Amino acid sequence: MTISLTPETQQPISLQPQGWLRYLSFSTDHKVIGLQYLICGFIFYLIGGALAGAIRTELLTPISDFLPRETYNEVLTLHGTVMIFLWIVPVVNGGFGNYLIPFYVGARDMAFPRLNAVAFWLIPPAGLLLISSYFIASAAQSGWTAYPPLSLSTPATGQIIWILSVLLLGGSSIFGGINFIATILKLRRPGLKLMQLPMYCWAMLGTSILVVLSTPVLAGTLVLLSFDIIAHTGFFNPSLGGNAVVYQHLFWFYSHPAVYIMVLPAFGLVSEILPVHSRKPLFGYTTMVYSIMGIVFLGLIVWAHHMFTSGTPPWMRLFFTIATSFIAVPTGIKFFNWLATLWGGRIALNTAMLFSCGFIVNFVFGGITGVALAQVPFDIHVHDTYFVVGHFHYIVYGGTVFVIFASIYHWYPKVTGRLLNEPLGKLHFLLTFVGFNLCFAPQHWLGLNGMPRRVAEYDPQFTLVNQLSSAGALLMALSTLPFLVNVVLSAFRGDIAGDNPWRALTPEWLTTSPPPVENWKGEAPLVHEPYGYGVAPEEVPLAATTGSELWRLGDPDRRP
């Protein structure tokens, strides 16, 4: 690989603020916006984590003693909303998407840079609005699902602020999705084919299709819900002739795809990290692409599996059980592709790799409980119990958040030019992995034995297991400390990384670290084979092969 850079032909002229101030400005640089999303999201992660800590503290004892019951409901609602809409969705889409997608398609920015900045700057006000509702009146108390009639009978002010905040965040998400679709489909460097893009592009394309198709339905539904609260219409109010189940259908038409909006980008990111640190081409590129698109399609037609106890007719249960079980097929393909990517590779067990492997372990467990939950008889037994809480957190924390951390360890040298400290990173991983499993694995047992979720009080026989779970939560809280110390100290004192510390082949590494304002000094590189690891370039014409051919040709003994 030859990289010939002609130095400083022309400095890009910038009218934007420079230095750290640009991170507080209406910057249109996709890298600045990506970091804005990441840092803003991480602040909300700390807030959401503190709320989770309050929940687990309350659940140390079977009686309601730490928090008043109403406050418990508010904390629970805020925890779900903050974590989903202000941490995971913005970070895993907006954060990494904005930073990486223009590199991957060989562009200098997103298709609509100003819209991009608008999409980010909707988030902090929406978040502040949501948090402030706790201090102004009382926050929403009906959970992140806001099911009527519960959301119609809890205090109205908090619920309305909650709706406003979610509408703003939904708008931000839609603007982001439009931008990603246009960037990936329209802004590719000439000569770069869709099937040559790094996998994260495909994941973001699929995610953005889901965002554009499903988020507006949630927005419309929440507007109707706000009419029910403010104008006393009866859309979802049975006592006024309305139908509460219609709300559930419309809500889950967004919120089931929302799970894929949270987890598909993580699939993409982990598909970037595994090949680099195991020095192997990504196994089964084509099947990965088709399984992402399969998940997008199936993800849109499985929503009613959340509603098996809502009086759904038998044919509907049958259809949604079958469709949901089908999702295991494309997801399983991806799972085995990751294993095959690792198989026989030269695995570097650094923190990024450890978090990625942790993701695979946790995610397959969450996937198995997911298939179990798709079966109506089992679902009716554990519906609205801690089994569902355990399953959900295995997907969203064990899956997506593990990948977010893996990605931070992987791309930190790109962003700062310095490496994160490995021993601290391994301590972070150990605390997170042990804490996470200690916190959420016992919740499956609690749910199977009948402990309902979202209630501050429980049967005293569950005390010990709840205390175990809370101990896990404490470990997870502690795990943030080495991470924060690491991220802050390494920015100033970390080892100098060089431009490409992982010897990676994807386009974001083929420039300086940190990258210049318009990503490359000179023309963008044309990368036809982003996963050409493990084969000496002179043996195989890399530009003419696909990942699977490289896999077959690759001789394990000659891998660099």
Partner 1 sequence: MTTLSTSSPSVSEQQHEAHADHRMFGLATFLVADGMTFAGFFAAYLTFRAVNPLPSGSSYELELVLPTINTLLLLASSFTFHRAGSAMKRDNRPLARRWLLVTAAFGFAFLAGQMKEYFTLPFGLTDNLFASTFYAITGFHGLHVTLGGLMILIVWWQSRSGGRVSSHNLFPLEAAELYWHFVDGIWVVLYGILYLL
Binding site for partner 1 (CB under 8 A): 1-6, 9-10, 12, 107-109, 111-112, 115, 174, 177-179, 181-182, 185-187, 212-217, 219-221, 223-224, 227, 231-235, 240-243, 246, 249-250, 253, 505, 510-511, 518, 520-527, 529, 532, 537, 542-543
Taking the complex as a whole, how short is the minimal distance between the CB of residue 86 and partner 1, in angstroms? 21
CA distances, 142 to each of 77, 139, 162, 454, 530 (Å): 6, 9, 10, 10, 46
Q: Which of 149, 144, 148, 121 is nearest to 51 (CA)?
A: 144
The nearest distance, CB 77 to partner 1, in angstroms, is: 23
Identity of the residue, 30 or 444, whose beta carbon is nearer to partner 1 in the bound complex: 30
- Measured from the CB of residue 83, what is the shortest distance to partner 1 in angstroms? 24
Q: Please identify, using beta-carbon distances, which residue of 58 and 109 lies nearer to partner 1.
A: 109
**Residue number, 302 or 476, with CB nearest to partner 1:** 302
Classify each residue of 442-461 as buried b or exposed e, where b means 16 or more C-beta atoms within 10 Å of its C-beta. bbbbbbeeebebbebebeee
What value, to the nearest 5°, has the Cα angle with vertex 254 and ends 369 and 245?
Answer: 85
- Nearer of residues 9 and 20 to partner 1, judged by Cβ: 9
Task: Kindly state the smallest distance separating residue 274's Cβ from partner 1, in Å.
Answer: 20
CB of residue 110 to partner 1, shortest distance in Å:
10
Distance (Å, whole) CA 426 – CA 431: 9
- Which of 115/491 has CB closer to partner 1? 115
Q: How far is the CB of 322 from partner 1 (least distance, A)?
A: 22
Distance of closest approach, residue 234 Cβ to partner 1, in angstroms: 6
Q: Provide, rounded to whole angstroms, the least separation between the CB of residue 246 and partner 1.
A: 5
Could you tell me where the DSSP H helices lie in 417-462?
A: 422-448
DSSP string, 80-146: HHIIIIIIIHIIIIIIHHHHHHHHHHT-SS-S-HHHHHHHHHTHHHHHHHHHHHHHHS----STTTT
Helix/strand/coil for 342? helix
* Cα–Cα distance measured from residue 71 to residue 178, given in angstroms and rounded to the nearest whole number: 38
- Distance, in Å, from the CA atom of 462 to the CA atom of 449, rounded to the nearest integer, reads 9
CA–CA distance, 383 with 291 (Å, rounded to integer): 29
Pairwise CA distance, residues 73 & 133, whole Å: 13
Rounded least distance, CB 107 to partner 1, Å:
6
Based on CB atoms, which residue is closest to partner 1, 177 or 370? Answer: 177
Is there a contact between 530 and 257 (Cβ–Cβ < 8 Å)?
no
Q: Please report the sign of the dihedral spanned by the C-alpha atoms of residue 419, residue 421, residue 426, residue 429.
A: negative
Nearer to partner 1, 83 or 307 (CB): 307
Q: What's the rounded Cα separation, in Å, for the pair 487 and 493?
A: 10
Least distance in angstroms from the C-beta of 407 to partner 1: 23
| Least distance from partner 1 to the Cβ atom of residue 510, Å | 6
CA nearest neighbour of 186 among 289, 110, 264, 268 = 110
Q: Compare residues 10 and 18 and give the one whose CB is closer to partner 1.
A: 10
For tokens 């790109």, the residue is: 414
Using CA atoms, how far apart are residues 508 and 515, in angstroms rounded to an integer?
A: 8
| Closest CB to partner 1 among residues 233, 375 | 233
**Neighbour-count burial for 31-51, b at 16+ CB within 10 Å, e otherwise:** bbbbbbbbebbbebbebbbeb
Calculate helix-pair angle for 30-58, 402-416, nearest 10 degrees.
140
Closest contact distance (angstroms) between CB of 15 and partner 1 is 13
Complex with partner 1: residue 236 or 392, whichever CB lies closer: 236
Phi, psi of 92 (to 5 degrees): -80, -25
Q: How far is the CB of 250 from partner 1 (least distance, A)?
A: 6
Cβ(341)–Cβ(282) below 8 Å: yes
Residue (of 416, 421, 426) closest to 491 by Cα position: 416
**Closer CB to partner 1, residue 248 or residue 470?**
248
How many angstroms separate the CA atoms of 316 and 80, rounded? 28
Q: Which is nearer to partner 1, 124 or 171 (CB)?
A: 171
Of residues 212 and 293, the one with the C-beta less far from partner 1: 212
Amino acid at 302: V
Looking at the Cβ atoms of 105 and 353, the one nearer to partner 1 is: 105
Tell me how far, at minimum, the Cβ of 179 lies from partner 1, in Å: 7
Among residues 158, 157, 129, 124, which one has the least CA distance to residue 143? 158
